[in-house]
Structure 1
Amino acid sequence: MTETRSHGTTSVSSTERRLMAKMALLNNIDHPDLKVITRFGAAYGDSVNQAAVYPTEFSELQREYPIFFRKDEEGAFYCVILLGLDKGENLFLDGARWQARYVPAIHQRGPFMIGFQNQEVDGEVRREPVIHVDLENPRVSKTEGEPLFLAHGGNAPYLQHISQVLRVITVGADMTAPMFAAFEQAGLIEPVSLDVKLDDHTEYKVPDLFTLNEEKLAALEGEALQQLHRGGFLRAAYLVLASLGNVNRLINMKNAKRAAGG
């Protein structure tokens, strides 16, 4: 008898939407000794079978993970990658290590978020991005991890890296709605039924996913094609389609885990 399992979808948008418990504006005066634990694990929210991602990281993501779309509670599309098949399963997580050439920005950013603050620049008040840190996040420490500031007060390499990660998220979040508007205008988005069969007895059904219609994309011409290209979304569309071959990689990883008794 074949055992059919639900994918057991973990809410991937909850990480982005949750209200951080104790946010603080990061600076080297209040937080000179702050460190961040950079290893991965369930304790840090990494044991999930999907992760929210952004168009700004498609180029790196498509080499490792299958990229799909989902709808949030308001019906707006967002991007996800599949990391596992069972609930709470991240096949790329090996102990404290993430076994991939690229880790999704959401899982790289740790306890940090971008906020905005009015600052006077050249006599003009501007809304400038600033980094906030969740001081109650389990990654935050004063005894272990990567330092955020150098001894003389400058930004440490890790904090410089985090600044780039937050930029990927912020710019990518701004791109997401226009990208999906362009895909919808071109009639490219379609629901997909992902049925993963591991053997004669076990299969998974991954619900509520969307992808792009490859034939419709290839048939685009004239103004419709130019609009997609001008918006910078034509390349994004091809990267999404190129990523789908990674479903087979995911299946192979799952089978290897089962063979090892996992």
Structure 2
Amino acid sequence: MANWVKLDNVDHAGLAVARRHGAAFGDAVNQLLVFPTEFEQVQRDYPILFRRDDQGRFYAVALLGLDLDENLFLADVAWTARYVPVLQQRGPFTADPTGGLPLIDLDDARVGADDGEPLFLPHGGSTPYLQHITAVIEAIGHGRNSIAPFFTALDELGLLRARALDVQLGDGASYTIADVFTLDEARLADLPAAALLPLHRSGMLRAATMAAASLGNVARLIELKNARRG
């Protein structure tokens, strides 16, 4: 169970945190929640798929692997991709509902590690690492707020297409990723300018096209999967 406490430059003056990844830290997953605000970075490495939760609400995931609990971009304690989705960048930190510095899980194995990076400068200010974490947590907040407007706009315009994603490995093996949605590019091309303009001005059109373009990364997943299978 997590032991969340609010960071303090007095009580935690000498505290250091290691930048590590791994199954123990929730990284061994084949799908990871991502936000429309980070689609431009995500699409450089991963396929982006849309799904519905139990209440029918849409959300987006980066496809990291083909089998359950498989992250093909995870090697020992590091990610091999250029971009790590923002939720996994935060490490053992989360937002403090009351504001200010983030909360930290003191029971996380990365906290207090010998190879950790300090959080506070000698005079008490935040180190570049803590500044990065603060920015990451702020980005997560903005990302969460972007989900509902983005998918509401696409759904109202009929731009979300249900499908099953078939992945062929080339030796007869295959995977089917069911119950997903992607951008209906044919429908998008038929939209009148009056409908496209608000999407463009809000940045949602760019995010949507980035998600559509990201499906080209399925080929990279196949390469990584075949390499692991030997």
Same topology, TM > 0.5 = yes
In structure 2, what residue type is equivalent to 1:223? A
Unaligned runs of 5+ in 1: 1-19, 118-127
Q: Could you tell me which residue of structure 2 aligns to residue 113 of structure 1?
A: 94
Q: Which runs of 4+ in 1 moved over 3 A?
A: none
CA displacement at 1:38 relative to structure 2: 0.8
1:150 pairs with 2:131: no
CA contact (8 A) 1:44 1:139 kept: no
CA displacement at 1:256 relative to structure 2: 1.5
Could you give the per-residue CA deviations for residues 41-60 of structure 1, whole angstroms, max 9, x where no partner exists?
A: 11222111111111121111
Q: Could you tell me which residue of structure 2 aligns to residue 215 of structure 1?
A: 186
CA displacement at 1:249 relative to structure 2: 1.0
CA contact (8 A) 1:56 1:169 kept: no
Q: Could you tell me which residue of structure 2 aligns to residue 14 of structure 1?
A: none
Distance 1:256 1:116 in 2: 44
1:242 pairs with 2:223: no
CA contact (8 A) 1:56 1:171 kept: yes
1:49-198 correspondence runs (5 A): 49-117=30-98, 128=99, 130-141=101-112, 143-198=114-169
1:45 pairs with 2:26: yes
Q: Secondary structure at the match of 2:174?
A: strand
Normalising by structure 2, what TM-score? 0.94
Could you give the per-residue CA deviations for residues 55-88 of structure 1, whole angstroms, max 9, x where no partner exists?
A: 1211111111001111122221111000011111
1:28 pairs with 2:28: no
CA displacement at 1:22 relative to structure 2: 2.1
Which structure is higher in strand share?
1
Q: Secondary structure at the match of 1:86?
A: coil
CA contact (8 A) 2:3 2:105 kept: yes
Unaligned runs of 5+ in 2: none
Q: Secondary structure at the match of 1:234?
A: helix
CA contact (8 A) 2:18 2:113 kept: no
Distance 1:95 1:134 in 2: 22
Distance 1:31 1:71 in 2: 41
Q: Secondary structure at the match of 2:97?
A: strand
Shift in alpha-carbon separation, 1:249–1:143, aligned structure 2, 3 A:
closer
In structure 2, what residue type is equivalent to 1:139? R
Could you give the per-residue CA deviations for residues 109-165 of structure 1, whole angstroms, max 9, x where no partner exists?
A: 011111232xxxxxxxxxx45411122223222644111111221101111111121
Q: CA RMSD in A?
A: 1.6
Normalising by structure 1, what TM-score? 0.83
CA contact (8 A) 1:116 1:130 kept: no
Distance 2:109 2:58 in 1: 30
Q: Secondary structure at the match of 2:32?
A: strand
Identity %: 52
Distance 2:116 2:164 in 1: 42
Query: Across the two proteins, how many residue pairs are aligned to each other?
Result: 230
CA displacement at 1:193 relative to structure 2: 0.5
